[in-house]
Chain A
Amino acid sequence: MRTRDNISDEELSAFADGQLPRRRAAAVAAYLRRDPSAQAQVNAYIDQDRLIARAFADALEAPVPARMQPAGPVGDKRRLPRSGLAVAALLLLTATVVFWSLPESGQPALSQVALDSFRESPSVSADAGPRPDFEPIGFEFAGTRMLGAASVTEYRFRNASGQRVGLYVAPRDNVDSAAYRVLRGEGLNVVTWQSAGEQYALVGEQDVAGLTTLAVNSRRPSSTRPIQVAGPDQPTPAGAAPAPATGPQPVPSAEARDAVISTVDDPG
């Protein structure tokens, strides 16, 4: 719609948004000084925006639900993927296929071992000895044990709000892959990856996003406190060379982020 002086409603709207080029904005401003009705029109636009923004002012201050925190706690179990039951069934089928398509040297897949162990044993004894340090990501060591039949070392961690995660480490001779595999289980999720001749599985009740974030962060060097393996009674002195790592190895953050690949449950 054109108005007087070839100033359109679109330009008045863009003027209210401060999105006109400087020269055109000066022309519109000059026009507004001459035309009170156009001035009222722009004021009305600005007032509309102000009222809308005010109506949602509290949304910026509202506490973020825990389920939304990228490194946050328990996922929302009441929701299924939006795509519906067909996708859910497909995911379940795919997850099952992947679970059973990852045999390692005739042994059960690490992810399956991890899921079974995490499900069957709520806790394990807190043995002394080297272990991955998850404190930089908010989890304290809660126990470790060997799962003899599968040559898997299990580490348990717990955070301040009582959430548990389990890290399972097993040797692997194959070529390393930077990819993360994200598997959705019933009530539990698993993230697996490989690094430095080891394979890892991180299991927890967190949603996929939260658990993947924990996995990525556990491999990421912290600027103040590098993740390394240390015995509980023999902390590594400041400035000393880090102990040989048997847990997750730090990788450059960009590499870690690029490596976040869900190979199983990507309905999108």
Chain B
Amino acid sequence: MTFEQRLATEIPHLRRYARGLCGDPSAADDLVQDCLERAMRKGHLWQPIGRLRSWLFKLLYRLYLNSRQTATARRESTHPDPARDQQVWPTGEMDVRCRQMLALVDRLPSPQRDALLLMALEQPSYRDAARILGICVGTLRSRLARGREALRDMQEQREAPRALRRVK
């Protein structure tokens, strides 16, 4: 399989993580395209013994961080496309829970959110995930644990008023 073919097989995974990071699909696709262009230019730097997906995710995440910094420096809004709120979401119970979970994930600090999304979507080894995010494994473990606990707290707070209403 050629380098370009291998690149093509990774696109759906890149798009999925990019959507998690960026929020709206259009910004995510722009990010993935930037990543692919960078990968094509830097293809000679990729070592065939390494995992292409990890290498690409690392490129993607760096580009994402750069774009976020640039947006902050320009005082642009980093909030996803307002049109996102107009998306038609499925109304099944499980889908509602997914949507609620994503809303809670969006409230996490970015480092925790980025780590959590990566693990939930791709399940890389901690070593690979730490390399992708540019942090050490200990930091990754800490971010994941704090992020998950924060999510659990938020879930419990959300559930609490309902429980009170039931008692009344």
Contact B144 A17 (CB under 8 A): yes
Known: A70-B36, A257-B44. A56 touches B16 (CB 8 A): yes
Known: A17-B126, A257-B3. A62 touches B12 (CB 8 A): yes
Smallest Cβ distance from A256 to chain B, in angstroms?
9
A48 and B105 alpha carbons, distance in the complex (Å): 9
Give me 17 A-to-B residue pairs in the complex whose CB atoms sit less than 8 angstroms apart, sorted by A's number.
A9-B145, A9-B148, A14-B141, A48-B116, A48-B151, A52-B101, A52-B105, A52-B120, A54-B94, A55-B99, A55-B102, A59-B16, A61-B12, A64-B11, A76-B33, A209-B37, A213-B4
Any chain A CB within 8 A of the CB of B13?
A: yes
Any chain A CB within 8 A of the CB of B157?
A: no
Residues of A within 8 A of B7 (CB): 70
Per-residue interface assignment for chain A, residues 1 to 44, with 1 indicating a CB less than 8 Å from any chain B CB and 0 otherwise: 10000001110111011010000000000000000000001001
Seed contacts A207-B37, A268-B42; 7 additional CB < 8 Å A-B pairs:
A14-B126, A44-B148, A56-B19, A60-B13, A68-B29, A82-B70, A257-B2
List the B residue with the shortest CB-CB distance to A220.
B2
Contact A208 B119 (CB under 8 A): no
Any chain A CB within 8 A of the CB of B24?
A: no
Contact A48 B4 (CB under 8 A): no
Contact B44 A258 (CB under 8 A): yes
Residues of B within 8 A of A49 (CB): 119-120
Contact A52 B121 (CB under 8 A): yes
Q: Which of A61, A68, A69 has the most CB of B within 10 A?
A: A68
Residues of B within 8 A of A261 (CB): 41, 44
Contact B40 A213 (CB under 8 A): yes
Contact A55 B98 (CB under 8 A): yes
Per-residue interface assignment for chain B, residues 9 to 31, with 1 indicating a CB less than 8 Å from any chain A CB and 0 otherwise: 00111011001100000000110
Residues of B within 8 A of A71 (CB): 4, 8
Contact B15 A82 (CB under 8 A): no
Contact A79 B144 (CB under 8 A): no
List the A residue with the shortest CB-CB distance to B20.
A56
Per-residue interface assignment for chain A, residues 251 to 268, with 1 indicating a CB less than 8 Å from any chain B CB and 0 otherwise: 001000111111000101
Residues of A within 8 A of B117 (CB): 52
Contact A62 B15 (CB under 8 A): yes
Partner of A55, one of B11, B44, B101, B145: B101
Any chain B CB within 8 A of the CB of A212?
A: yes
Contact A13 B141 (CB under 8 A): yes
A59 and B12 alpha carbons, distance in the complex (Å): 7
A12 and B94 alpha carbons, distance in the complex (Å): 25
Contact A44 B155 (CB under 8 A): yes
A114 and B15 alpha carbons, distance in the complex (Å): 35
Any chain A CB within 8 A of the CB of B84?
A: no
Any chain A CB within 8 A of the CB of B67?
A: yes
Contact A260 B152 (CB under 8 A): no
